[in-house]
Structures are given as structure tokens and as C-alpha cells.
Amino acid sequence: MLPPVTVPRARLMSPLPALTIDLIVLAGGRGSRLGGVLKPAVEVAGRTLLSRVLDARPVARHTVVVGPPAAVPAADRPPLAAYPAPSTGAPAPDPDPASPTATATALTPAAATPAAGTATPSALIWALEDPPFGGPVAGIAAGLAALEAHGAAHVEVHCEAHGATKVEANVDEPATWLLVLACDLPWGADAARLLVTAASALEEIGEQTDGVHLTDYTGHAQWLAGIYRAPALRAAVDRLGDRVNGASMRNLLSGLKLMGLMDESETGVDVDTWQDVESSTARLTGAPEARPEE
């Protein structure tokens, strides 16, 4: 692993580079430290965790969500606060039903599971690791498979519409970078911008680093807030084969040349407990965080 680096603020304010990126959002955790609730549906400052991380979609060409059927976005339905966060006194904003975010964040506990690689009405691609709750590595493997299936279907449709002899060579070719985000990152969109900017810098200088991940102030590597060269990540998954279920991210990424990116703005702060929900809500709304009585 390479030592952590920082991205100059001026570079962060510049337009995002034109990289070919697909996004995998991992939404299949058990939420055990939240009492077993559906983590993607947990609300932070009036919006679900899934909706917040999906704000990163503009940096990607395709987005696949890997998680349980209950997290499938359902078009034309309002967000379902199945497991609301503790009240902070801040009213939830009324979503614009025509906005991509509002469409993408609608959640239903009774949603049917689309076939892997099938886009939902909100244009998200849906996937689920088999068996469920197989961990983040199994989730990444499922996401990669769904992206591959979606790309194959896209080419097939293009062939039917225009004839095989007229298919463009670059129709839905595999992305060169894969952005991987856990669904429990309230500032996931900000993290995505940091990571994409770093990946662009690597491309510009010809650095053959296999990926970049956030590193928190303690020096802890945040594998699930990372951007990886697609060939390298696919090869790492293929290396594990049928051992992806229950595999660790450290095992998956071992052998890859990775760079840690210092997360000075704490964009990689995740939500694992109700205390995390409360503190993140307070940070987003500017409200004082409630503290237990001594």
C-alpha cells in the first residue's frame, strides 16, 4: 500500500474529469448494530441513507445497487420511512417527484427482485449476492456480474435496432474505473468526487496505481469508499472464484497497488448505530447533538 495523500482544494473545485466509471453501491448489510433494520431505508436528516449515497450517480455511467429486495427503488412511490431515525425536530423535505433522486430513493419492503442486470424504473441496475448477506466482496462480485449482464443486454438491443453490421465498437464497453461505495455513507457523493478527482490525477500522470480509497484520521483504510481500475478489481474477484462469500476486503485487495486518500473532510463517515444516525443528522442540519444525561 502507498502512503496516504491529499487532494489540493483547488483541484476539488474544478470540473470532474471525463473518466468511464461505473458505480457499485453495497446495500446488503444486516444492520445488526441498528437492531436489524433495513439500513438503506434509515433516514438521516430527512433522507434515506440510500438516497444520499445515490447522489453520487452523476459521476458514473451505470449504477448498480446490490442489496435485499426491500431496497429496490420503486418509481412513482414516495420514500418509505420504514425505520425512521430518532427525531431531531428537523422536518423532512418534500421530494420533487420528477427528480431523479426522488425516483431513486423510493423504497418498498414488498418489492419484487428484478433479474440481475435489469434496470429498475429509476434506471438503477439491481443485483443481490447469492446467498444473501455474503459480505462486501460477494456484493462486489454480484455488482460486477450485473454490470456485465446489463452491458450484454444493451449490445443485444442495439443489434436488434440497428443491425449487427452497424453496431458501434464502443457501445457500452466495460468501464475503466469502478467506484465502490457502501450505502451507509451520508456524504457518499462528496467522497465520490474526491475519489474521481484522485483517479483523474493518476490518469494524467500515467501512474499505474490499481485504485484509491479513503483513509480516515486514524489511518484506517476505508475499502468501501474507493475507486478501482476495473480490470484489476475484476481480476481480484476472479482470483477468489467461489470463495467470495464471506471473504474480507483485505483478502480481495491483497496484491493490488492502492493509494490511500486522506479524508480530511470526513466524507467517509459511515452510519452503523443510532448514535451515528443522530450525530450525522446533527452535522447535516446544524442542530446540536443530543447528549445523554450524566
Domain count within the chain: 1
Q: How far apart are CA 124 and CA 117, in angstroms?
A: 9
Q: What is the CATH number of the domain that holds 271?
A: 3.90.550.10
The single-letter code of the amino acid at 272 is D
Residue 90: inside a domain, yes or no? yes
Distance CA 30, CA 24 (A): 18
| Distance of alpha carbon 174 from alpha carbon 220, whole angstroms | 30
In a domain, 291, yes or no: no
C-alpha cell at 268: 467517509
pLDDT at 189 over 80: yes
How much is the pLDDT for 222?
A: 96
Higher pLDDT, 76 or 193: 193
Paired strand residues for 221: 215
Domain limits for position 237: 2-284
pLDDT, one tens digit per residue, over 232-259 is 999 999 999 999 999 999 999 999 999 9
**Whole-prediction pTM:** 0.75
Mean pLDDT over the full length of the chain: 77
Q: Which of 124, 128, 161 is nearest to 142 (CA)?
A: 128
Bridge partners for 259 per DSSP: 2, 212
User: Is residue 290 one of the residues assigned to a domain?
Assistant: no
Q: Tens of pLDDT along 152-183?
A: 765 555 455 555 544 443 456 789 999 999 99
Asked whether residue 223 is assigned to any structural domain, the reply reads yes
143, 64 Cβ separation under 8 angstroms: yes
> Per-residue pLDDT for 192 more than 70?
yes
Query: Mean pLDDT across the stretch 20-24?
Result: 96
- Does residue 160 lie in a domain region? yes
pLDDT the model gives residue 243: 95
Provide, rounded to the nearest whole percent, the portion of the chain with pLDDT above 90.
Answer: 52
Dihedral (CA of 201, 227, 57, 173) sign: positive
Report pLDDT for 289.
61
What is the model's pLDDT at position 3?
57
Report residue 37's pLDDT band, with 50, 70 and 90 as the boundaries: confident
Q: Tell me: pLDDT of 273 over 80.
A: yes
Residue % of the chain over a pLDDT of 70: 67
Contacts of 85 (CB under 8 A, 6+ apart): 42, 43, 44, 274, 277, 278, 281
Model confidence at 33: pLDDT above 60: yes
In a domain, 294, yes or no: no
In a domain, 56, yes or no: yes
pLDDT bracket for residue 12 (50, 70, 90): very low
- Contact between 226 and 212 under an 8 Å Cβ cutoff? The reply is yes
Amino acid 4: pLDDT: 60
What is the DSSP secondary structure assignment for residue 70, as one 8-state letter? G
289 lies in some domain = no
pLDDT of residue 52 exceeding 60, the answer is yes
Q: pLDDT class for 69, splitting at 50, 70, 90?
A: confident
